[in-house]
A = this chain, B = another copy of it.
Amino acid sequence: MTAPHQLSAFEAAKKLQTHELSATALVQSCLARIEAREPVLHAFAHLDAEGALAQARALDAGPVRGLLHGLPLGIKDLFDTAQFRTTYGSKVYAQHRPALTAASVTLCQEAGAVLMGKTVTTEFAYFTPGPTANPHNPAHTPGGSSSGSAASVGDTMLPLSLGTQTAGSIIRPAAYCGVVGYKPSLGKVTGAGVKSLSYTLDVVGGFGRSVQDVGLLGAALSGDMRLMPSTPEPARLKVGMFATPWWSEVTPDTVSAWELATKKLASHQLSDVQAPTGFEQLMGLQKAVMGFEMARALSYERVIFGAQLSARLNELLSEGMATSGEQHAHNLGNVAQWRARMDALFGDNDVLITPSAQGEAPQGLAATGDPMFCRVWSLMGLPCVHLPFARGALGLPVGLQVVGRFGQDHLLLQAAAQLHQDLLA
């Protein structure tokens, strides 16, 4: 029999709404899984077991609150929470308890979610990792920066969790942990109360174990009910297979996943998409924009607490400060031009399929892998979903991401649900 913690958010939500499953039973099941696995995975920066049970009991005693009624939710420790310590993954904020809670967290709570606590993030969502291990092999990284959110969902400690992406912090850990990650269109979900790193890039999204799961979460966060899961209707999709200019960086595992996808999706209309001239520059452009904006956004930490930041972060901030505002203005103009060209990249395709990461999660916990296959989509502000559907040579998860048109998150999720079904068939 399936234990409650093993249910996907979408499956659990149905049982919770009909009272076939109580929130208390689901939370207890998740807590048991956490107790068993947390000593190995270190997914939590702060776990509130008692508080979660109290929330669950209160929900069970009342009417159905909303879309997320009774669903345990992990919150990346980059989101302010008045009820939990909030460290942003940094020593600087080791004892920080914000006065208020991020709007996205309150929206989930308003929809009935049970706040389980905070999940580990890298230092200010950049590269210096926390202690979290990969649920499929603890000798490997879970990816970053939403490390704990991806690992906890991948391990069935939790059905849902919140994350953020500035470079590749949702899609990459989703790929490494074998879960579905959803990065909405830029601006679709409020970022109020989330540590701000880059106006041009930051996006709030999350993790589940199916496309339906992240659709449920996305609907609660954005108020857009078109994101709500529906039974995928068999449709022949036009899918652009976009290997990107960085294809030479993928491992044989990703090549195999690509070939598998081509076979499994043969009933759709697949076509190869070529990168337009100059597209390869977008990687460097994303890095420059991110460095400039993070160096300004983290000014207080940079100026007051520089000695407590990692060498790697200080290096980024120094480089960012060395970029002039004139150059940044020029870069933003360039970004705007490229964003306007994205419709042409899609052509008549409904969605693009493209790598999420080079391959399996790299070994070791000292680094979180490379976001190279995510940077350009963050820069373009486009919605993305990672779909896990294969295993690599080491038995770790491998998959691909589906990218949608700007603001068309509902069409992306619809297509991704159908494609995921076909990929897993």
Chain A residues with CB under 8 Å of chain B are 82, 93, 96, 98-107, 109-110, 187-188, 190-193, 195-197, 199-200, 219, 222-227, 292-293, 296-304, 323-326, 328-329, 332-333, 336, 340, 406-407, 409
Contacts and interface: CB of A to CB of B under 8 A. Distances in A.
A223 B190 contact: no
A378 to B, nearest CB: 15
Copies in the complex: 2
Interface residues of A, dominant DSSP: helix
The 6 closest A-B pairs by CB, nearest first: A224-B325, A223-B325, A192-B297, A192-B196, A106-B299, A103-B299
Contact of A324 (B188, B196, B225, B298): B225
B193 A325 contact: no
Contact of A107 (B82, B199, B299): B299
B193 A300 contact: yes
Residue among A98, A110, A323, A326 having the largest count of chain B Cβ atoms under 10 Å:
A326
Contact of A187 (B99, B101, B200, B304): B200
A142 B109 CA distance: 39
Given A223-B328, A225-B325, 16 more contacts: A98-B99, A102-B300, A103-B298, A106-B299, A107-B296, A107-B299, A110-B299, A190-B196, A191-B199, A192-B195, A192-B196, A222-B328, A223-B323, A224-B328, A225-B324, A226-B326
Nearest to A100: B300
A243 to B, nearest CB: 29
Contacts of A301: 100
A262 B304 CA distance: 50
A395 B63 CA distance: 60
B224 A110 contact: no
Nearest to A340: B340
Contacts of A190: 196, 199, 293, 296-297, 299
Contact of A332 (B187, B200, B323): B187
A300 B199 contact: no
A192 B332 CA distance: 18
